[in-house]
Structure 1
Amino acid sequence: MAIHRKRFRVEEAIVGEMPSPEMIEEAAPMHSEIMAELRAIRAQMAKGTPPAPLSGSAAMAAIDASTAHELSEARTMLETYRAQIEQCEKLKVELDLIHDAIDRTKREIATLHGKSFDGGEMAKVNGELGAVVGGTEQATQQILEAAESIDQAASAMSKVQSADQQKRLADDIQERVISIFEACNFQDLTGQRISKVMGTMKFIEQHINAMMEIWGGVDAIKAHVPAHVDTRSEDDKLLNGPKLAGDVGHASQDDIDALFD
């Protein structure tokens, strides 16, 4: 605790109103703080001259400008995010459509595989076509043999004079004619077999067309069809088979007759 000494009037007259030691001791901490602040200011000045302090209105204007700039940037980012979200939504719609198209195509393929392309159904189709070929060949052979026998019997009939022989030849001709009629029945069986095959082919065609419609129709599919290159020899190119109505690239009977004129 500091002892307060009474000052004499002579000291007061010489020294005047000097601060007492007690006041100096109390001001020491404040002096240290001031010096510390000065040293800090000098250090900042050594790093770089700080900007001049703004007045109250200028400071508010600067704050408003900074806030407006940040708000503008935030709005720009928000618009960008909204545009990206819209693009994502459009992409999701497209992906949903593609998923639906693939799912429908899978169902069509599963239907074809289950009812058309499995071993039993295709074996049946091959069997029906084989039976058509075999029945047609057998009927053709039977008709040709009967026609040959009729021709021979007709030739022999003109040479015999006996009524009994003529009757036997006539009976033979009649029997061969009946054989021809029987052989012509193959057309009915052939028609039934071909109808079965056509039913299967129409079933396949229907589901293939459905798959083509799923992916945009025939016109959209044609754009992806590779160019066809005919690798057949020149002779094979002439073997186009029987002509259908409206087919092009086939020789007509008139063209063939013109070769002999």
Structure 2
Amino acid sequence: MSVKRKRFRVEQAMGEVVMAEPEAAGGDDLGPMHREIMAELRSIRAQMAAAPAQRTADSVDAVVAREVAETHKMLETYRAQVEQCEKLKVELDLIHDAISRTKREIAVLHGKSFNGEEMAKVNGELGAVVGGTEQATQQILEAVEAIDQAASALANNVTPDQQRRLSEDIQERVVSIFEACNFQDLTGQRINKVMQTMKFIEQHINEMMNIWGGVDAIKTHVPPVVDTREGDARLLNGPKLDGDAGHASQDDIDAMFN
């Protein structure tokens, strides 16, 4: 009859189960076979206790490896997004710089040309050119008319004294014509001032076009030119310059009547 082995408190607290070797009745030895069986049972129990811990460790390692891989993938995504943001920032900085430079050029034009004393001076110079030209033209026409009248009077039978007075009058009219022709010098000086202002404006406009890529880049945004003039205004193109196209020459006009 086997004897039930008593379990101590330490064994109960540790949760260990120790396979007790039953004792044979009367203290007889159960034999080596029994001891081997009990040893194998204890080994199996130890392996069964260690297997869940091993499986848990393997599962934790797999989860950690998967999370590390996902973290690396997320970091690569963030890194690519940061690079794109940096490129975008560079482009935005370039646009901001171009806008700032354009604003400075516009401010210079606005202050010194379009809305300043310079533009008022240009208007005054052009007005003076028109007024001076009209005055000189009127003076020349009056002198020529007086010369024509004096020449007609000389053709008649006049006294020597009248001839002398008519000759002096003609000379005075000729001098008056020479004086009136001085308007050309004044007109040239005034127009030169206007041209300097126009060159100043052109320089800053070219600078603004260079800021945005040059003339070739601006041409792609130029709208088509549409002539909205009607009637006679559509036919008036002003005097022709050398090399201008679209104007009829005198030979072309003569050929229409031949």
User: For 1:185, which of 169, 182, 186 is the aligned residue?
Assistant: 182
Q: Contact conserved, 1:147 with 1:176, CA < 8 A, in 2?
A: yes
Residue 178 of structure 1 and its aligned partner are, at CA, apart by 0.7
Instruction: State the AA in 2 paired with 1:91.
Output: L
Task: Output the TM-score relative to the length of structure 1.
Answer: 0.75
Match of 2:123 in 1: 126
Match of 1:108 in 2: 105
**Cα deviation code 1:99-145 (max 9, x no counterpart):** 11111111111111221122432221111101100100111111111
Match of 1:251 in 2: 248
CA RMSD of aligned residues (A): 2.8
CA distance in 1 between partners of 2:63 and 2:56 (Å): 11
CA distance in 1 between partners of 2:203 and 2:209 (Å): 10
User: For 1:173, which of 170, 173, 186 is the aligned residue?
Assistant: 170
Residue 88 of structure 1 and its aligned partner are, at CA, apart by 0.7
Residue 161 of structure 1 and its aligned partner are, at CA, apart by 4.1
Instruction: State the AA in 1 paired with 2:170.
Output: I
Give me the identity figure in percent: 72
The answer to whether structure 1 residue 202 and structure 2 residue 165 are counterparts is no
User: For 2:225, which of 212, 228, 252 is the aligned residue?
Assistant: 228
User: For 2:208, which of 208, 211, 215 is the aligned residue?
Assistant: 211
Q: Contact conserved, 2:112 with 2:119, CA < 8 A, in 1?
A: no
**Cα deviation code 1:37-90 (max 9, x no counterpart):** xxxxxxxxxxxxxxxx97666655544443332222122111111111111111
Q: Which runs of 5+ in 1 are unaligned?
A: 1-15, 31-52
Residue 254 of structure 1 and its aligned partner are, at CA, apart by 2.3
Task: Output the TM-score relative to the length of structure 2.
Answer: 0.75
CA distance in 1 between partners of 2:61 and 2:3 (Å): 53
User: For 1:150, which of 134, 137, 147 is the aligned residue?
Assistant: 147
Bigger drift between 203-212 and 60-69 goes to 60-69
User: For 2:132, which of 130, 135, 139 is the aligned residue?
Assistant: 135
CA distance in 1 between partners of 2:157 and 2:53 (Å): 146
- Distance verdict in 2 for CA 1:54–1:80, change over 3 Å: farther
Residue 259 of structure 1 and its aligned partner are, at CA, apart by 3.8
Match of 1:75 in 2: 72
Structure 2 residue matching 1:116: 3-state secondary structure? helix
**Cα deviation code 1:171-215 (max 9, x no counterpart):** 111111111100000001111111111111111111111111111
- Distance verdict in 2 for CA 1:241–1:214, change over 3 Å: same
Structure 2 residue matching 1:249: 3-state secondary structure? coil
CA distance in 2 between partners of 1:178 and 1:210 (Å): 49
Residue 251 of structure 1 and its aligned partner are, at CA, apart by 2.2
Aligned length: 219
Q: Contact conserved, 1:160 with 1:166, CA < 8 A, in 2?
A: no
Q: Contact conserved, 2:147 with 2:170, CA < 8 A, in 1?
A: yes
CA distance in 2 between partners of 1:238 and 1:72 (Å): 78
Instruction: State the AA in 1 paired with 2:96.
Output: H
Q: Contact conserved, 1:140 with 1:183, CA < 8 A, in 2?
A: yes
**Cα deviation code 1:203-235 (max 9, x no counterpart):** 111111111111111121122222222111142
- Distance verdict in 2 for CA 1:181–1:68, change over 3 Å: same
Match of 1:239 in 2: 236
